[in-house]
Amino acid sequence: MTKTMRIGIIGSGGIAHAHINQYKKLADVEIVGVADVVPGKAKQFVEAQGLGGAQPFEDHRKLLELDLDGVSICTPNVSHHQTTVDALRAGKNVLLEKPMSVTLAEAIDMVETQRESGKMLTIGFQPRYDPNMKLVQDIVQSGKLGKVYYVETGGGRRRGMPGGTFIRKELAGAGAMADIGCYSLDMALNAMGYPKPLTVSAYTSNYFGTNPLYHPQASQFEVEDFGVALVRFEGDLVLQFKISWAMHMDSLGSTMFLGSEGGLKVNPHGTGNWSGVWDGKVGNMTLFHDFMGQQTSTPVPVIEHQKDLFFEKVRDFVEAVREDRPAPIPGDQILIQQAIIDGVLRSAESKREVAIELP
Ligand SMILES: NC(=O)c1ccc[n+]([C@@H]2O[C@H](COP(=O)([O-])OP(=O)(O)OC[C@H]3O[C@@H](n4cnc5c(N)ncnc54)[C@H](O)[C@@H]3O)[C@@H](O)[C@H]2O)c1
């Protein structure tokens, strides 16, 4: 008989609903508790979601006293570190929402705690479950591009600034670079096999977020709505990383991998103000190469699929725990992109190139 997986939810805001909706589709999963620091919010969530026997808590540490196989951590970014460390120390497996953390020091502590605990820490990057992301990785790693020396990634929303906890430094820690930039970094770095970053030189601004013409909470807007960074890696590789939540432009360009033998251009799926970033699916891909001495561009067929990527990430977490498999998107890998985001924030602040020190 299949074991029923006992799951808890920490943070019962917007994205927690998406987690619950997926858990509900899975047989043999029981939501046994929900915690939210706002008094009454977890109880309301339990009732609204019809979670029957699930216990509401205001302190996540009380939830962690329950017998649980895993927790979904759905709190704002600055709470990711403490809630994750507490959950791992309490012997729970963790599916953590992106971005992993705000600072590199937090991410290092989370990974060390994960290793000590022997429990799972997986980060919730649902675009990884688009089979086309795997195709991009396979193409880049096939050797067909030759030596890859330059990668450009990122994405631009023309108007797509969130509000609430996302724009407050004490809750989000960072703005667009971490919020949607983490997806762009993951798609590019995962394709490259997560090479080791050495330095970052970055610029950030927030001309849109702080302007009441463009944001209804402009007076509370404290993070960046635009950023650009040049990242150097070991092995003669550079990456340019560009992100906007809002801009006077239709696009910040494609993701591209330039190699000595070929180039791959990849565009995200979707249209509209909130599109153009890597939180969804792959739209189209083109391979640039020479063929019989001719400059040739070949469309790479996109794999059609009906997968619900968010469902796939929640299901994979549950199954990985049940089957005692390694973390699907392990914290010790995502630590590397967290080091880059940390470097971006430090470089933008100091207006200088900064070194990235990985443990
Ligand atoms: N994967 C995705 O597609 C996706 C989409 C949106 C948001 N997110 C991520 O999910 C996280 C949450 O975003 P959201 O939109 O749900 O935010 P939200 O502000 O709507 O909800 C966060 C909730 O966490 C609660 N909270 C804060 N600190 C807590 C703590 N220590 N213990 C328990 N509860 C706590 C808040 O009271 C709030 O109810 C963010 O890190 C965000 O980046 C991911």
288 contact partners, CB below 8 Å, separation of at least 6: 262, 263, 264, 265, 295, 296, 297
CATH number at residue 261: 3.30.360.10
Query: In 50-202, which residue ranges form alpha helices assigned H by DSSP?
Result: 60-63, 80-89, 104-117, 131-141, 169-172, 176-179, 181-192
Question: Once rounded to an integer, what is the mean pLDDT over residues 25-31?
Answer: 95
Is residue 89 situated within a structural domain? yes
Is residue 226 situated within a structural domain? yes
Residues 47 and 67 in one domain: yes
Report the separation in Å between the CA atom of 141 and the middle of ligand 1, taken as the mean of its atom positions: 35
| Count of residues making up the chain | 359
For residue 186, pLDDT over 80 is answered with yes
Tens of pLDDT, residues 289-332 = 999 999 999 999 999 999 999 999 999 999 999 999 999 999 99
Residues 158 and 95 in one domain: no
**Confidence (pLDDT) at 146:** 98
CB atoms within 10 A of CB 49: 19
Mutate to test the pocket of ligand 1, among 17, 55, 92, 97 (most ligand atoms within 8 A of CB): 97
Is residue 259 situated within a structural domain? yes
Question: Once rounded to an integer, what is the mean pLDDT over residues 262-279?
Answer: 85
CB atoms within 10 A of CB 252: 22
* Ligand 1, atom 3: closest residue by C-alpha: 279
Do the Cβ atoms of 125 and 183 come closer than 8 Å? yes
Residues 97 and 224 in one domain: no
Residues 154 and 49 in one domain: no
Do the Cβ atoms of 241 and 229 come closer than 8 Å? yes
Residues 47 and 167 in one domain: no
Report the separation in Å between the CA atom of 74 and the middle of ligand 1, taken as the mean of its atom positions: 4
For residue 271, pLDDT over 90 is answered with no
Indicate the number of domains in the chain. Answer: 2
List C-alpha distances in Å: 340 to 194, 240, 353.
11, 12, 12
Mutate to test the pocket of ligand 1, among 34, 59, 74 (most ligand atoms within 8 A of CB): 74
**Confidence (pLDDT) at 16:** 98
Report the separation in Å between the CA atom of 92 and the middle of ligand 1, taken as the mean of its atom positions: 19
Residues 151 and 226 in one domain: yes
* Ligand 1, atom 31: closest residue by C-alpha: 79
Residues 143 and 286 in one domain: yes
Residues 273 and 348 in one domain: yes
Tokens 């989370």 identify what position?
110
**Confidence (pLDDT) at 269:** 86
Tens of pLDDT, residues 32-85 = 999 999 999 999 999 999 998 899 999 999 999 999 999 999 999 999 999 999
Question: Once rounded to an integer, what is the mean pLDDT over residues 83-107?
Answer: 97
Give the 3-state secondary structure of residue 28: coil
For residue 156, pLDDT over 90 is answered with no
**Confidence (pLDDT) at 281:** 84
In 3D space, the residue among 99, 100, 98 whose CA is nearest the CA of residue 85 turns out to be 100
Residues 244 and 264 in one domain: yes
Q: What is the DSSP string of 83-110?
A: HHHHHHHTT-EEEEPSS--SSHHHHHHH
SS3 readout for 206-239: CCCCCCCCCCCCHHHCCCCCEEEEEEEECCCEEE
Is residue 35 situated within a structural domain? yes
Report the separation in Å between the CA atom of 165 and the middle of ligand 1, taken as the mean of its atom positions: 8
Tens of pLDDT, residues 217-229 = 999 999 999 999 9
Is residue 145 situated within a structural domain? yes
135 contact partners, CB below 8 Å, separation of at least 6: 282, 285, 300, 303
Is residue 104 situated within a structural domain? yes
pLDDT tier, 272 (very low <50, low <70, confident <90, very high otherwise): confident
CATH number at residue 324: 3.40.50.720
Residues 112 and 194 in one domain: no
pLDDT tier, 188 (very low <50, low <70, confident <90, very high otherwise): very high
Is residue 222 situated within a structural domain? yes
Tens of pLDDT, residues 342-355 = 999 999 999 999 99
Residues 197 and 344 in one domain: yes
Residues 251 and 346 in one domain: yes
Ligand 1 first shell, C-beta below 6 A:
10-16, 35-38, 41, 60, 74-77, 79, 83, 97-98, 124, 126, 164-165, 179, 279
| Domain interval for residue 70 | 5-126+309-329
For residue 277, pLDDT over 80 is answered with no
Question: Once rounded to an integer, what is the mean pLDDT over residues 180-190?
Answer: 94
Report the separation in Å between the CA atom of 124 and the middle of ligand 1, taken as the mean of its atom positions: 12
For residue 280, pLDDT over 80 is answered with no
**Confidence (pLDDT) at 3:** 83
Is residue 334 situated within a structural domain? no
Tens of pLDDT, residues 109-141 = 999 999 999 999 999 999 999 999 999 999 999
As a whole-number percent, the residues of the chain with pLDDT over 90 amount to 92
